[in-house]
A and B are shown apart, each in its own frame.
Chain A
Amino acid sequence: MTAQDTALDLSEASSIKWRRYGVIIGRVLLIGLLFVLWKLGADAVGPIYVADPIKVIQRIITDTQSGLLLKHIYATLRISTIGFAIGCAFGIALPFVLRLVPRITAAVEPYIMASVGIPKYALIPLFILYFGIDDAPKLWLVGLLVFYPIFIAVFAGIRNVDRRLINMARIVGASESRIAREVIWYSLTPFFFAALKISLPRAVSAAIIGEFLVGNEGIGYFIENSRQSFDTVGAFAGILVATALVLVLNSVLDKIDHRVNAWRPKERSMEI
């Protein structure tokens, strides 16, 4: 490598660095701009419809200190994570079971795919009718909403597993359960994580919608209760907290994704 090449490399590296800083600065500016727009909007429309952002933040702080918000966050988190886990478990297990019975799969596949089209939220009244007004109807809603993306991803993922890898594993003496765990499962983790990223916000949304209708705790309850008492600041605070909750859960998921899928070649174009 000549001195010139080195110089070129260095200038390239520093330009990449600056581009990265530029992106971060741009993001911060954008947040600031949104905040200003929000404030201006609130002043223009009036506090009944759009809450003042400063008041919203003050409310979040006081309600967090009093423990009220934490109680509701915990309730929403509980429903969404349990429902999420149930939906995931079935979404993963069912395709693996169906894999063992190809004929039955061929028979039921169109019905499963048709059932994707059922608007799940439309089922809430039935869930309340069947399961009462405790956690159960909310868990059903969250579970169903999570189940479908996971099921479809895993189902398609299993179909797309490279036959040659399975043959290789068979030849070197791997049992079928070993193949399921060592070859098929890893082959579909990229699909699976893509589906998780769709399902996680859905799980929280579904929990919140459940809380609008049933029970007296959770962020959904907090938002709806605020609205009913004309407390727009409270409603906005709830929405902001719900958004933050989804973002935090997503970043946890991203971390797990990076660890689990560390083997995948990094796409350079995806890094700025």
Chain B
Amino acid sequence: MSGQPLLEVRGLDKRFAGRSGRDTALWVIKDLSFSVPDGEFLTIIGPSGSGKTTLLNMIAQIDVANGGEVRFQSKSAPINDPKSLNPGLNCQIGYVTQEDNLLPWRTTLQNVLFPLEVQGRLDAEGRARADMLMRTVGLAGFEGHYPHELSGGMRKRASLIRTLVYDPPVILMDEPFGALDAQTRAQLQEDLLRLWNLGRKTIVFVTHDITEAIALGDRTLVLSRAPAKIVGDHPITIPRPRDIRGIMTHPDFAALYQRIREQVQ
């Protein structure tokens, strides 16, 4: 975790046009900067409406910025012009969105293999990897099921490993476990940490749940209400491997939680 940051956000601006011409534009993000070193699990926390999803959309290059830049491996990515957007930056930035976005006409396994297929990398090794990931997250036996035949938690797992299967160096995650019940969520958080431990990807994980931010991250950034800027930067000192379900009982937890909560409005 030293040297050049893998991913850098510099002076990022984003505004949404008002409803009618006369309304003033709404700045969602203004002059936002942060950087993520290689292999870091960064969690970003902010109130709803603070532009978290917009931020990830711009990093993933499916949305344009109104100013500033995103740098990946010290190279600037062009994100100010819709024509020059390069979604996923040649498969280097994976994105696990809030909705699972599984293709309903593909079976679970076909969905997981989709990225390899479209990248022309579907070989025995890729299949073995998909197999391993399916087993790791408990989807073995559901290869042939269609998404509508899976539970919400299983769909989430499928969408998670669909991104892991092609091994992008950076993975963005947008409240991936937001809509799940507490039990399933804890399970998935454990799965995620286990998977992360296998490869130590760089992860930018957005959430509005302080406990989740602490339990998963190496570091937590706190965003303010729109226009979003960073109001807190907290290294999470709780050592790994962590006990997700018992994270609240760790002696460092209460103080961290308190400090972050004061900044999240």
Closest to A178 in B: B118
Partner of A263, one of B87, B94, B99, B106: B106
Partner of B104, one of A173, A174, A264: A264
- Fill in one digit per residue for B47-66: 1 if any A CB lies within 8 Å of its CB, else 0: 00000000000001010000
User: How far is B87's CA from A169's CA once the two chains are assembled, in angstroms?
Assistant: 9
Residues from 12 to 40 in A contacting B, C-beta threshold 8 Å = none
User: How far is B163's CA from A174's CA once the two chains are assembled, in angstroms?
Assistant: 13
Q: Is the interface of A mostly helix, strand, loop or mixed?
A: helix
Residues from 240 to 272 in A contacting B, C-beta threshold 8 Å = 261, 263-265
Q: Are A263 and B105 touching (Cβ within 8 A)?
A: yes
Closest to B88 in A: A171
Q: Are B146 and A164 touching (Cβ within 8 A)?
A: no
Closest to B119 in A: A173
- Fill in one digit per residue for B84-110: 1 if any A CB lies within 8 Å of its CB, else 0: 000110110111010101011111000
Partner of A172, one of B105, B107, B119, B146: B119
Q: Are A171 and B60 touching (Cβ within 8 A)?
A: yes
Closest to A185 in B: B105
Q: Is A191 an interface residue (CB 8 A)?
A: no
Q: Are B106 and A172 touching (Cβ within 8 A)?
A: no
Q: Is A183 an interface residue (CB 8 A)?
A: yes
Q: Is A165 an interface residue (CB 8 A)?
A: yes
A265 to chain B, nearest CB (A): 4
Q: Are B118 and A173 touching (Cβ within 8 A)?
A: yes
Query: CB-CB < 8 A to A167: which residues of B?
Result: 62, 87, 101
- Fill in one digit per residue for A159-181: 1 if any B CB lies within 8 Å of its CB, else 0: 00010110111111111001000
User: How far is B119's CA from A162's CA once the two chains are assembled, in angstroms?
Assistant: 21
Closest to A263 in B: B105
Interface residues on B, range: 20 to 34
Residues from 15 to 72 in B contacting A, C-beta threshold 8 Å = 60, 62
Q: Is A109 an interface residue (CB 8 A)?
A: no
User: How far is B162's CA from A159's CA once the two chains are assembled, in angstroms?
Assistant: 26
Q: Is B148 an interface residue (CB 8 A)?
A: yes
Q: Is B78 an interface residue (CB 8 A)?
A: no
Q: Is A90 an interface residue (CB 8 A)?
A: no
Q: Is A186 an interface residue (CB 8 A)?
A: yes
Partner of A164, one of B88, B101, B106, B148: B101
Q: Is B205 an interface residue (CB 8 A)?
A: no
Residues from 99 to 144 in A contacting B, C-beta threshold 8 Å = none
Q: Is B177 an interface residue (CB 8 A)?
A: no
Closest to A186 in B: B105
User: How far is B114's CA from A168's CA once the two chains are assembled, in angstroms?
Assistant: 10
Q: Is A182 an interface residue (CB 8 A)?
A: yes
User: How far is B101's CA from A189's CA once the two chains are assembled, in angstroms?
Assistant: 18
Query: CB-CB < 8 A to A265: which residues of B?
Result: 146, 148-149
B25 to chain A, nearest CB (A): 22
On whether A172 and B62 interact (CB within 8 A), knowing A165-B103, A263-B105, A263-B106, the answer reads: no
- Fill in one digit per residue for A185-197: 1 if any B CB lies within 8 Å of its CB, else 0: 0100100000000
Q: Are B118 and A168 touching (Cβ within 8 A)?
A: no
User: How far is B119's CA from A182's CA once the two chains are assembled, in angstroms?
Assistant: 13
Q: Are B97 and A164 touching (Cβ within 8 A)?
A: yes
A162 to chain B, nearest CB (A): 8
User: How far is B101's CA from A170's CA once the two chains are assembled, in angstroms?
Assistant: 12
Q: Are A175 and B62 touching (Cβ within 8 A)?
A: no
A201 to chain B, nearest CB (A): 27
Query: CB-CB < 8 A to B114: which residues of A?
Result: 169, 172, 182
Which of A170, A172, A261, A264 has the most CB atoms of chain B within a 10 A radius of its CB?
A: A172
Q: Are A182 and B103 touching (Cβ within 8 A)?
A: yes
Q: Is B232 an interface residue (CB 8 A)?
A: no
Query: CB-CB < 8 A to B107: which residues of A?
Result: 263
Closest to A183 in B: B103
User: How far is B105's CA from A261's CA once the two chains are assembled, in angstroms?
Assistant: 8
Q: Are A172 and B148 touching (Cβ within 8 A)?
A: no
Query: CB-CB < 8 A to B105: which residues of A?
Result: 186, 189, 261, 263-264
Enumerate the 6 nearest inter-chain pairs by beta-carbon distance, A residue then B residue, closest first: A171-B88, A172-B115, A170-B87, A174-B118, A263-B105, A173-B91
* B contact set with A: CB distance below 8 Å: 60, 62, 87-88, 90-91, 93-95, 97, 99, 101, 103-107, 114-115, 118-119, 146, 148-149, 162-163, 166
